[in-house]
Structure 1
């Protein structure tokens, strides 16, 4: 199916399937994808990665979806990668092959977010940590509650930030100097700081956050699908051209190598 076509399909588009642990809903050309953690485990487990990848794969057959809003039903947007799952993967396969498969999924997910035809919006609240920040950074637009707290804790637990191409994307979005400081110190920073850095485009009180997102989705839903797709492709192309030393494709191997040769500590 041609993603640039502005002609409506002859038959009604099949609804995107709700996939555990996600909750999906459609409002015209806007798809809402909500992380739906169980037992308040707001982490990016393999199940979450698989579900998000499946939704983005399904979007290839839904050119009528022009906007994807990513949010969470948990107390926080996301507390990062599932470190317990990393440990289980290493215990079951000390060679690191199982862990590398998880890391490869993170890379595939972030590339899919960057390359999908839909304009992607991250709606952030609570804590946005590590891989959760990487996930949000790969969205086109980001709005956060003024109570958001952000952190990149990887160095503090003995790891380099090697999840889904996080470093290249964050440096491209916010600049090398400040990202260097935040990655090395693991300092917590708030929504106002994230806005100054460009990691948030909009900040709003939590009870007005949905209004802020809607202020984006309404005009985007009226835009020409062809113009949106081409503009996204151009922006992605220019951004990638500026990353002269992007090591994103190595991230899965870097993460696996670190975890199989040593253990991080708090």
Structure 2
């Protein structure tokens, strides 16, 4: 089995048809205490719009994000894999999966979250705004809150972990030995640059492939072989890092 850790998105889909948030029904109950504290703090903070803007790094044009936080416990929910939007999630495109593929994706995918710690595919969550780098009044940095509880949860995962989270979210709870994937572009002269603009899209395609395959890569070597069979140019440094190489032009 494989567990893919995805970064969240700042943007979230609106609405939903699920019942309001019930923290007790989310997967990974070890995280409930921190989830409860953060949810209450964020909702209470939303009463003070200027303070929310300062803590969350928002402008006056983004006050609708603060309104979402104010309604955290009353607004409708939807499955986590459908709540997050943006380039990576467009490439992942879970809504186009077959029923069997979606079942595998729900088992294999989890989203790193500043608010919930870890969101599994079927976790019913509302729209919200909180980033890994946010500093909430009266609370320690988020990494200090999450690492003691989320770290042991991830360390106990008894399967191959592929960590596609961005640096700020990986810092909330690093996973020793997890496979990472870097995306680089190779020019005709052989020189390479790190892909930034399309990085999320390529990681979304990797996530879709690994979430839906019937194969079960148990280590980084088998994972590399699986990606190569899919036509990707992947290099392995001999440890736990893979490099996806794109041919420029």
More relative contact order, 1 or 2 (CA 8 Å, 6+ apart): 2
* More helix per residue: 1
> Is TM-score (shorter-chain normalized) higher than 0.5?
no
TM-score normalized by structure 2? 0.31
TM-score normalized by structure 1? 0.29
